[in-house]
Chain A
Amino acid sequence: MNKAGLTLTPLAGGPVHSIAILPQGHAAVTKALEEMQLYWPAPGQIIAGPQGRLVWSGREEALLFDATPPKALQGHAAVVNQTGAMAGFAITGAGAPELLARLVPLDLRPKVFPVGSAARSLARHVPVLVLHPNADRYELHAPRSMAQSLWIELTDALDRLAARKG
Chain B
Amino acid sequence: MNDYLAPFLGAGFYYKTFLWPQKLWTRLYEPIIRRAAGLGALSGHPDEGCFEKAWAHCDVLVIGAGPSGLMAALTAARAGADVILAEEEPLLGGQLLSEPGVIGEGTSAAWIAAVEAELRALPNVRIMTRTTVTGAYDGGTFGALERVGLHCAARADLPRECFWRIVAGKAILASGAHERHIAFPENDRPGVMLAGAVRSYLHKYGVATGQRVTLFAANDHARATARDLIAAGVKVAAIIDPRKDASSVEDCQVHLGAEVIKTWGRQGLSEITVRKGSEEFQIETDCLAVSGGWNPALHLTCHMNGRPRWSEDLAAFVPMEGAVPGLRAVGAANGSFSTHGALSSGKAAAEAALTALGIAPVDMPLPASEDMPRRHMAFWQVDAPGRAWLDFANDVTTKDVRQAATENFRSVEHMKRYTTQGMAPDQGKNSNVAALAILADSTGRGIAETGVTTFRPPYVPVSLAAMGDGGRGKGLAPARLLISDQAARDRGATMIETGLWYRPGWFPKPGEVDWRESCDREVLMVRNRVGVIDVSSLGKIDLQGRDVGRFLDLIYANRMSSLGIGKVRYGLMLREDGFVMDDGTVARLGQDHWLITTTTGAAEEVLRHIDFMHQSLAADWDLRLTSVTEAWAQFAVTGPEAFTLINSLVSGEGPDLPFMGCCDWQVGQVAARLFRISFTGERGYEIAVPVDNGDALWRDLVARAETLGGGAFGIEALNVLRIEKGFLTHAEIDGRVTAFDLGLEKMLSPSKTSVGKVAAQREGLRGDERFQLVGLRGTEAIPGGAHLFRPGQRVDSAGLEGHVTSPCYSPVLQQWIALAFVKNGRARMGERLRLVDHMRQTDAEVEVVAPVFYDPEGGRMRG
Contact = CB atoms under 8 A, between A and B. Distances in A.
Contacts of A124: 470, 475, 478
Contacts of A162: 157
Interface string A4-44: 00000000010000101111100000000000000000000
B548 to A, nearest CB: 10
A83 B692 contact: yes
A146 B82 CA distance: 34
B630 interface: yes
A103 to B, nearest CB: 9
B52 interface: yes
Interface stretch (A48-56, A64-72, A104-112, A130-138): A104-112
A156 B157 CA distance: 9
B621 A23 contact: yes
A107 B57 contact: yes
A163 interface: yes
A78 B478 contact: no
A101 B55 contact: yes
Given A22-B545, A102-B54, A159-B157, A13 B480 contact: no
A145 B165 CA distance: 29
B606 interface: no
Given A101-B56, A112-B57, A144 B630 contact: yes
Contact of A107 (B167, B500, B623): B167
A85 B158 contact: no
Given A60-B624, A159-B157, A163-B157, A81 B631 contact: yes
A18 B315 CA distance: 66
A101 B54 contact: yes
Interface in B655-682: none
A106 B629 CA distance: 26
Interface string B704-742: 000000000000000000000000000000000000000
A85 B54 contact: no
Contacts of B167: 107
A106 B155 CA distance: 30
Contacts of B542: 78, 80
A85 B157 CA distance: 33
Contacts of A108: 57
Nearest to B82: A109
A160 B481 contact: no
Interface string B134-177: 00000000000000110000010111000001010000000000
A53 B295 CA distance: 59
A145 B621 contact: no
B620 interface: yes
Contacts of A163: 149, 155, 157-159
Interface in A84-134: 84-86, 101-102, 104-109, 112, 124-126
Contacts of B628: 80, 82, 85
B477 interface: yes
Contact of A105 (B158, B165, B481, B483): B165
Contacts of A24: 622
B429 to A, nearest CB: 30
B12 interface: no
A149 B622 contact: no
Given A84-B631, A102-B52, A105-B55, A143 B626 contact: no
Nearest to A156: B470
A22 B692 contact: no
Report which residue of A77, A84, A126 has the largest number of chain B beta carbons within 10 angstroms of its beta carbon.
A84
A148 interface: yes
Contact of B477 (A77, A125, A145): A125
A83 B501 contact: no
B53 A23 contact: no
B395 to A, nearest CB: 40
A125 B545 CA distance: 33
Contacts of B50: 160
Given A20-B624, A143-B480, A164 B630 contact: no
A46 interface: no
A3 to B, nearest CB: 11
Contacts of B55: 101, 104-106
Contact of B620 (A23, A78, A84, A106): A23
Contacts of A23: 620-622
Given A22-B623, A61-B626, A163-B155, A81 B54 contact: no
B827 to A, nearest CB: 45
A78 B477 contact: no
A82 B219 CA distance: 73
Report which residue of B155, B159, B620 has the largest number of chain A beta carbons within 10 angstroms of its beta carbon.
B159
Contacts of B620: 23
Interface in B542-566: 542-545
A150 interface: yes
B207 interface: no
Contacts of B500: 146
Contacts of B165: 105
B744 interface: no
A101 B144 CA distance: 14
B113 interface: no
A80 B631 contact: yes
Given A104-B55, A145-B501, A78 B630 contact: no
B692 A13 contact: yes
B158 A78 contact: no
A146 B622 contact: no
Interface string B620-656: 1111111011110000000000000000000000000
Contacts of A84: 630-631, 690-692
A8 B691 CA distance: 24
B479 interface: yes
Nearest to B542: A80
Given A80-B631, A83-B690, A145-B482, A109 B57 contact: yes
Contacts of A150: 478
Nearest to B545: A22
B157 A125 contact: no
Interface string B465-491: 000001000010111111100000000
Contacts of B479: 146, 148-149
Contact of A160 (B159, B623, B624, B691): B159
Contacts of B691: 83-85, 144
A70 to B, nearest CB: 16
Contacts of A143: 480, 629-630
B624 A22 contact: yes
Given A105-B165, A112-B57, A125-B477, A164 B148 contact: yes
Contact of B159 (A106, A125, A164): A164
A43 to B, nearest CB: 15
Report which residue of B480, B628, B629 has the largest number of chain A beta carbons within 10 angstroms of its beta carbon.
B480
Contacts of A83: 631, 690-692
Contacts of B544: 20, 22, 78, 80
A104 B631 CA distance: 25
Contact of B52 (A13, A18, A144, A160): A160
A146 B499 CA distance: 13
A122 B687 CA distance: 32
Interface string B529-542: 00000000000001
19 contacts: A20-B626, A23-B622, A60-B624, A61-B624, A61-B626, A78-B544, A83-B692, A84-B692, A85-B628, A104-B55, A107-B167, A143-B630, A145-B481, A145-B630, A148-B481, A149-B478, A160-B158, A163-B149, A163-B159
Interface of B: 50, 52-57, 82, 148-149, 155, 157-159, 165, 167, 470, 475, 477-483, 500-501, 542-545, 615, 620-626, 628-631, 690-692
Ranked 7 nearest A-B pairs via Cβ: A149-B478, A78-B544, A20-B624, A78-B624, A85-B630, A145-B480, A85-B631
Given A20-B544, A101-B56, A145-B482, 20 more contacts: A59-B615, A78-B542, A78-B545, A80-B626, A80-B628, A82-B630, A82-B631, A84-B692, A86-B630, A104-B55, A107-B167, A112-B57, A145-B481, A146-B478, A146-B480, A150-B478, A153-B470, A160-B50, A160-B158, A163-B149
